[in-house]
Chains A and B, each alone.
Chain A
Amino acid sequence: MANNPSLIGRFTRGLWSENPVTVLLLGMCPALAVSNSGVNGLAMGLASTFVVVCASSLVSIIRRLVPGEVRIPTYIVIIAGFVTLADLFLKAYFPEVAKQLGPYVPLIVVNCMIMGRAEFFASKHKLLPSIFDAFGTGIGFTWVLVILGSIREILGSGSIFNYVILSEEVFVPWVVMILPAGAFISLGLMIGLINYFKLRAEDKAL
């Protein structure tokens, strides 16, 4: 997996085989907290993608300049800077989304997925592989959040991307899906299902 040197390989790794949410179980806090609708999941995913790509690029560029002893604080300052940037941008141009996501945008700082990419990959690789790796990770994070958010939105509000598909007359929304409990249940079942199919595929391959 990690031995695959091609740039495309770097990118696809984050999408599936080392997906931050479903495989590495990183970034659980935003994944569980803001995935209550498709739009929120998308916004959080894209904001995180922006941060992880920018932070990884910068970390990769300065990787030879940063003394090993203070690399973590340096990375944190860089990540926090980009997170604040994303937060201000959302507040200025998408105030509604910013209101919905609330404190979870600033909390991207502590998303270990981003720190993980910086520490494990970008600090040891050249710029281009780092960008591809971070981008793959970010998109991998985003698609899981969008799917999770959409499932919860359909069952919990009867709508998808704020477009009502199931009116309250025909379908009484499952309130639980919007609550934190729904996040745990859906994510657990989702990961379980993915693992089930993975195991089955491996069984077939043997």
Chain B
Amino acid sequence: MTEDINKTEKTELPKPEASALPPKKKAKPKAADAVPEVPGLVVSSSPHFLNTESVPGIMHNVILALLPACLVSIYFFRFDALILIVTCLFACLLTEYLCLKFRGKPIVIYDGSAAITGILLALTLPPSFPLYGAVIGSVFAIAIGKQIFGGLGLNIFNPALLGRAFLQATYPVLITTWTEPATIGTVDGVTAATPLALMKFEGIASDHLTLFFGNTAGSLGETSAVILLLGGLYLRYKGYINWKLPLGYLGAMALTGAFFYFLDSQKYPDPLFHLLTGGAMLGAWFMVTDMVTTPVTNLGQWIFAITAGIIAVIIRNLGGLPEGVMYSILLMNSFVPLLNRWTRPRVFGKGLTVETKGGTS
């Protein structure tokens, strides 16, 4: 992995879980480009797989993968999207900084994890969302979602989704007020229903191609499926995400969607619709694959992704809400410690080793 954008060459434990013992000793980053020093020797318990990847390296690549989605959302929603992303980004970084300062920990806000949280949170918000709300969500995501558990690697829930869930409960009206993209609306800020809401409450299915390219109402990151797919495939190409998770998630969504579709094709949308709408793509490629909040074992990852996918479609089709991706992932996040325990490979004497697949996930 030499194409690391920031040329970081730090040797690092790949698994954030391992940060309970503090291996992530970061050197003070220099102003221009953060080049951490290479620690000579890492003394730690297993796992002993080491590679040249660093947490900041991976995180920066994830940000790179999210960049196209951000640009597309800015294209669709213009200034609204830009200001929202910037606000979330800085609110998250500032909260992270203050929390670390308060806890007396080294300031590691350059590792990019808080930035990713900020961008992901922004991508789950509707473009017309007020900025003070975005700040509150960011503070909650970082302070309560991450730092209160002990910081990166120790959080149970995906911080961005937790922030979004908090906002959903805090501002239920604002967060379901959607505007049409600037590319179709002649007037600015026309309220519109998302394709999922149209389907759920009025039974109107949207055209697949429109959904694919994303010229629809929705939150910043739920409009264009194709761009998110590209970002996700880039991460897969770089080997940062495990193919099991997005595949299991999307596959389960499609199959469950198909089941409902065959049950009653008038009432329920077709499986492709499920994949192209809402947070399915964003969730599958950037949230289900979160290294910290997903299981480490193969079987655990399959169970995690498939169950979450089924839950998402059940919420969409049978629940009171039009979208279920957020709650499906959060719900399964809470099962991760159990899944890790249940599916832990047995070590009987020699020959069997604890397997960590994919290096990083």
Contact = CB atoms under 8 A, between A and B. Distances in A.
Interface of A: 172, 174-177, 179, 181-182, 185
Contact of A175 (B130, B136, B144, B172): B172
A75 B133 CA distance: 50
19 contacts: A172-B130, A172-B133, A172-B171, A172-B174, A174-B136, A174-B170, A174-B171, A175-B169, A175-B170, A175-B171, A175-B172, A176-B166, A176-B169, A176-B170, A177-B170, A179-B169, A181-B169, A182-B169, A185-B144
A176 B175 CA distance: 13
A182 B170 CA distance: 9
Instruction: Give chain A's interface secondary structure class.
Output: helix
Interface in B292-311: none
Interface in B128-184: 130, 133, 136, 144, 166, 169-172, 174
Contacts of A185: 144
Contacts of A179: 169
Looking at A176, A179, A185, which has the most chain B CB atoms within 10 Å of its CB? Answer: A176
A37 B136 CA distance: 22
Interface of B: 130, 133, 136, 144, 166, 169-172, 174
A178 B305 CA distance: 33
A116 B136 CA distance: 40
A203 to B, nearest CB: 13
A179 B169 CA distance: 8
Nearest to A182: B169
Contacts of A175: 169-172
Nearest to B169: A176
Contacts of B170: 174-177
Given A172-B130, A172-B171, A174-B136, 14 more contacts: A172-B174, A174-B170, A174-B171, A175-B169, A175-B170, A175-B171, A175-B172, A176-B169, A176-B170, A177-B170, A179-B169, A181-B169, A182-B169, A185-B144
Contacts of B169: 175-176, 179, 181-182
A172 B172 CA distance: 11
A187 to B, nearest CB: 13
A185 to B, nearest CB: 7
A171 to B, nearest CB: 10
Looking at B136, B170, B174, which has the most chain A CB atoms within 10 Å of its CB? Answer: B170
B276 to A, nearest CB: 30
Nearest to A178: B169
Contacts of B136: 174
B162 to A, nearest CB: 11
A191 to B, nearest CB: 13
Nearest to B136: A174
A182 B136 CA distance: 14
A153 B344 CA distance: 46
Nearest first, the 5 closest Cβ-Cβ pairs linking A and B are: A176-B169, A176-B170, A174-B170, A175-B172, A181-B169
Nearest to A181: B169
Contacts of B144: 185
B155 to A, nearest CB: 15
A177 B167 CA distance: 11
Contacts of B171: 172, 174-175
A172 B132 CA distance: 10
Contacts of A182: 169
A94 to B, nearest CB: 30
Contacts of A176: 166, 169-170
Nearest to A156: B170
A177 B140 CA distance: 13
A185 B143 CA distance: 12
B31 to A, nearest CB: 34
A176 B170 CA distance: 4
A75 to B, nearest CB: 37
A151 to B, nearest CB: 14
Contacts of A177: 170
Contacts of B133: 172
Contacts of A174: 136, 170-171
A182 B130 CA distance: 21
A37 B38 CA distance: 55
A174 B130 CA distance: 13
Nearest to B174: A172
Nearest to A177: B170
Contacts of A172: 130, 133, 171, 174
B334 to A, nearest CB: 14
B14 to A, nearest CB: 32
A179 B170 CA distance: 9
A172 B133 CA distance: 9
A104 to B, nearest CB: 22
A185 B170 CA distance: 12
B184 to A, nearest CB: 28
A172 B174 CA distance: 10
Contacts of A181: 169
Nearest to A172: B171
A176 B163 CA distance: 12
